Amino acid sequence: MRLVFLGTGGSLPSPKRNVSGLAVQLGPRVLLFDCGEGTQRQFMSSSVSYMKVAAVFITHFHGDHFLGLPGLIQSMNFSGRTEALHVLGPSGTVSTMRSIMDLGYFTCGFDILATEMAAGEELEFHGYSVKAVPAEHTVPAFSYVLEESARPGKFDPEKAKRLGVPEGPSFRRLQEGESIELDGAVITPEMVVGPKRRGRKIAISGDGRPTLALEVAAANADLLVHEATVTSDLIVDAKNYGHATAREAAELAMHAKARALILYHISSRYDDPKPLLEEARAVFPETYVAEDLMSLQVNFPESRTAVTLNAEKRLERVKEASARPTT
C-alpha cells in the first residue's frame, strides 16, 4: 500500500502546494481521493500513472477537491483509456459528473460511472473496503476509511515438518487453505497456520472538523491523514469554515490510537509548516507534514514502524525546521 500526495494545500494552489489529491496504490490499482485542479499534471510529475486510477473518491464538492476531474478525464481520454472510471462521493456526485460530461468539449471514449454513497456505507472490493464516514464541513462531506481484507495466518514450516508434511506442493496447499491427507491422517491448515492477520488500515479526513464518527471509524488505523489547515491561534476561523487545527488533528489521532499521523490541506499562509508540526507533535509525536509528491509505504500492523517515507529529504527538511532554535 503506497500513498503519493499529489496536492497538500488548502483552498487554492500556492507555489509550493497544489490543492487536494491523494493517490493510494494497491498492487496494480490506484484509488484517487479528491481531485483538485491540476491533479493530472501532478500525476505526470509523480511515480504513479493516472491511467491506473480505477476509482476516484470525492470528499465534497468545493472546487479545490473536484475541479481537476474534467482535466483528468480528458487526459485519460487522450491517452487512449477504454476502461470505465468510477467516481464516488456524497450527495451531488451524479449530477456533478453529468454536468462535467455535458460540457461537450470532447467525446469520452470510456464510461464514467458515478455513485453517491450514503453516510456510513462500506463498499467491499477485491481485497479491500472503503467506508464513507460523515464529516462536519460547510457542505455535505465525507471522510474515508480504507481497510485491507484480513490476511492468512503465518505458516509454520517447522510444525508442518514435525507432522511429517514434506516440503513442496503440500506446503503450498496448506498455505492456500487446503487440507491434505498423509498416511491416512488429515492435516488441516489450522494445524500449521496461525490465526488470520488484519490488513492495513488508513483514514483520510478530507475537509472537516474533528468528529467522534471519524475517531471511531479510524480506530487503530495504521495511518491517519488529517487536514490541519491552521494552528490553534486561528481556531475561531477553523470552526467558522469547517476546518481543523493541527492540535485537533493530533488529538483525534491520539484518541483513535492511530499509529501515525500525516497533516495535509495546509493553508497557504504557512510558507514553513513548522508551527503546524510542532503543535501536533506536542500531542502526538508520530506526526509528519505532507509535501507535494511525497510518497510513503504503509507497513503491515506487525511492523515496528507504521510508515516508511520514500521522500526522506523532504521530510528531513521539515524535521530540521522543527529542531532549529528560534531567535
Encode 38-102 in three state secondary structure.
CHHHHHHCCCCCHHHEEEEECCCCCHHHHCCHHHHHHHHHHCCCCCCEEEEECCCHHHHHHHHHC
- Choose among 234, 215, 223: nearest CA to 279: 234
Instruction: Examine the residue annotation and report whether 64 is marked as an active-site residue of this protein.
Output: yes
Pick from 186, 257, 246: nearest CA to 221: 257
Residue 184 and residue 164 in contact, taking contact as beta carbons nearer than 8 Å: no
CA distance 101 to 50: 19
| Contact present, 125 and 95 (Cβ < 8 Å) | no
pLDDT at 318: 46
Superfamily of domain 2-151+197-314 in the CATH hierarchy: Ribonuclease Z/Hydroxyacylglutathione hydrolase-like (3.60.15.10)
Confidence label for 129 from pLDDT (cuts 50, 70 and 90): very high
How high is the pLDDT of residue 325?
53
pLDDT value at position 193?
85
Lowest mean pLDDT among 26-35, 91-100, 182-191: 182-191
pLDDT tens per residue across span 89-122:
999 999 999 999 998 777 899 999 999 999 999 9
Q: What is the pLDDT of residues 206-228, one digit of tens each?
A: 999 999 999 999 999 999 999 99
Q: Which residue has the higher pLDDT, 265 or 151?
A: 265
CA-closest candidate to residue 118, choices 131, 99, 128, 137:
131
Stretch among 92-101, 173-182, 194-203 having the lowest mean pLDDT: 173-182
**Model confidence band, residue 38 (pLDDT cutoffs 50, 70, 90):** very high
Mean pLDDT of 238-253: 97
CA distance 319 to 71: 35
Q: What is the mean pLDDT of residues 158-179?
A: 87
- Mean pLDDT, rounded, for 186-209: 91
Catalytic residue among 34, 64, 207, 292: 64
Give me the amino acid identity at 36: G
Average pLDDT over residues 74-82: 95
Q: In what order do the strands lie in the sheet with 21-26?
A: 112-116, 85-89, 53-57, 29-35, 21-26, 2-7, 295-298, 307-309
Instruction: Give the model's pLDDT for residue 312.
Output: 40
Q: How far apart are CA 138 and CA 208, in angstroms?
A: 8
List, in order, residues 6 or more apart from 148 with CB less than 8 Å away.
1, 26, 127, 128, 198, 199, 200, 201
Q: Is the pLDDT of residue 326 over 50?
A: no
* Average pLDDT value over all residues in the chain: 91
Ordered by start, the domain boundaries in the chain are 2-151+197-314, 157-191
Q: Which of 89-98, 162-171, 239-248, 291-300 has the lowest mean pLDDT?
A: 162-171
Q: Average the pLDDT over 23-50 and give the result.
A: 95
What is residue 140's three-state secondary structure? coil
Report the alpha-carbon angle 46-200-50, nearest 5.
25
Q: What is the pLDDT of residue 168?
A: 87
pLDDT for position 241: 95
Closest Cα partner for 279 from 269, 289, 271?
289
> Per DSSP, what are the bridge partners of residue 113?
86
Query: Cell for 27?
Result: 498492487
pLDDT score at 111: 95
Q: What nine digits make up the cell of 293?
A: 509528491
For residue 54 the three cell numbers come to 480505477
pLDDT at 136 over 80: yes
Phi, psi of 101 (to 5 degrees): -75, -20
Name the residue with higher pLDDT: 150 or 90. 90
